[in-house]
Amino acid sequence: MASPSSAPARPPAFRSIGRSILLTLPIALWSLLMFTPSFRSGGRALSIGAVLVIVFMTSLFFLMMRTGETYRWRRIFFVALGFLFPVGFIASLIAERGTMSIPISRMVSGDTPFCFMVTPALILPAAFARTIVFPGSILPTASNPHSIAVMIGLWFAFTLVLGKAWCSYACFFGGMDEGFAAFGKRRRLHRFVTKYGSILRLIPWAILLCVVLLSAALFEPFYCMWLCPFKTVTEFPAVRDLETALQFGVFVTLFVGLVVVLPYLTKKRTQCGFFCPFGAFQSLFNKINLFDIRFDREKCFDCGLCQTSCPTVALSKESVREGKTLLNCMKCGACVDACKKDAAVWHLKGTPVAVKPERARLLFLYGAWALATMFGGSILANSIATMVHWLPLK
Ligand code: SF4
Ligand code: SF4
């Protein structure tokens, strides 16, 4: 068996410029289609945001085609989404109510937008008590097109096709810990994370179980009320008494620990991989979606680069030897890009492994990028429009 150091570098997967442009055309057209309403009725600021997003998303897709790399270009979009989402969100809160905090009474009367993270908490109360334990309108209205039904429908359609890729291409929270992980210089705690990876991977499942049961027992979205780190950078219950002060303290502590400090130290997505119950819930759909990452045993020489590069410890030595990822793979593409022997490949389920992996990658990326453009792209455009409003332009 060859040693890691003797591995020849993977030949570059560059495509010609013409072919890359051709493959990028569907995404360019999709982006134009998505943002046409912004040009028609969104005003100057939103039009500027839309143009920038179309260029941004199309350029990144072109680079994915041209270089054959996925992770690097996807991460640029995803981190931009994670860091710009709060800008637009906080600005709209300040414009509307002058503060990021919200009185509990307004929260329970539906004055807060639906967040997909709450989806698992809805299941038991909806099934047994026909109650949605989250305020807001179920069907779209003129003032709230992002109703509960629309958000869940969007999430479900995407998840059926692409599984846990939601966590790498759509979740506007995931870009935050990925961003802080990218800023980290060294992989500190690497041995700890590798040694206890099997335990760390179980934590989100335990939290998911608690959240589902407690939400049903208390008839409230328990995760939102007590555990969401992202309340720190979105909206949070106004601090009025000991209970709300405690809630706020938990949100800030989790945010600083899981989204900022630990990702920076470990270069892993610690909030997404070792805490988020919604991420665990998404993992279930990895069983039934169309795509996965596989490992060609003929080419693999057990160098471990793929495991080191995985941001959520979704690989173990054993899983790579079996030719698969673990259930919590979020299809970010880091392992495929890291493998110098082309042993890690994109795969369309039901087809032979390592036969035309580029075709599987292309099909996957069309789906993932279409969603990223529609969902994340519109968030980016709104945030950019907000910043354009701040500019002293006449
Ligand atoms: S699949 Fe992983 S362990 Fe095997 S050669 Fe590629 S990077 Fe190394
Ligand atoms: S196994 Fe590969 S594609 Fe899946 S999360 Fe890890 S690095 Fe990303």
Nearest residue to 199 via CA among 273, 106, 110, 252:
273
Whether 140 and 236 map to the same domain: the answer is: yes
Beta bridge partners, 292, equal: 347
- Which residues of the chain are modeled with pLDDT < 70? 1-14, 104-113, 133-146, 393-394
**Residue closest by Cα to atom 8 of ligand 2:** 332
C-alpha distances in Å from residue 382, one per residue of 86, 222, 315: 11, 29, 36
Whether 123 and 216 map to the same domain: the answer is: yes
Q: What is the pLDDT of residues 42-82, one digit of tens each?
A: 788 999 999 999 999 999 999 999 999 999 999 999 999 99
Whether 125 and 213 map to the same domain: the answer is: yes
User: What residue numbers bound the domain in which 325 lies?
Assistant: 290-355
Whether 87 and 117 map to the same domain: the answer is: no
**Residue closest by Cα to atom 6 of ligand 2:** 310
Ligand 2 centroid to Cα of residue 28, in Å, is 27
Whether 318 and 379 map to the same domain: the answer is: no
Answer whether 310 contacts ligand 2 (Cβ < 6 A): yes
Domains in the chain: how many in total? 3
pTM of the model: 0.90
C-alpha distances in Å from residue 188, one per residue of 30, 153, 265, 268, 353: 41, 40, 5, 10, 34
Answer whether 307 contacts ligand 2 (Cβ < 6 A): no
Whether 383 and 235 map to the same domain: the answer is: no
Whether 207 and 314 map to the same domain: the answer is: no
Q: What is the pLDDT of residues 74-127, one digit of tens each?
A: 999 999 999 999 999 999 888 888 888 877 666 655 556 677 777 787 777 877
Q: Is 214 a member of any domain?
A: yes
Whether 314 and 216 map to the same domain: the answer is: no
Whether 84 and 167 map to the same domain: the answer is: no
Ligand 2 centroid to Cα of residue 6, in Å, is 24
Ligand 1 centroid to Cα of residue 340, in Å, is 7
Whether 198 and 317 map to the same domain: the answer is: no
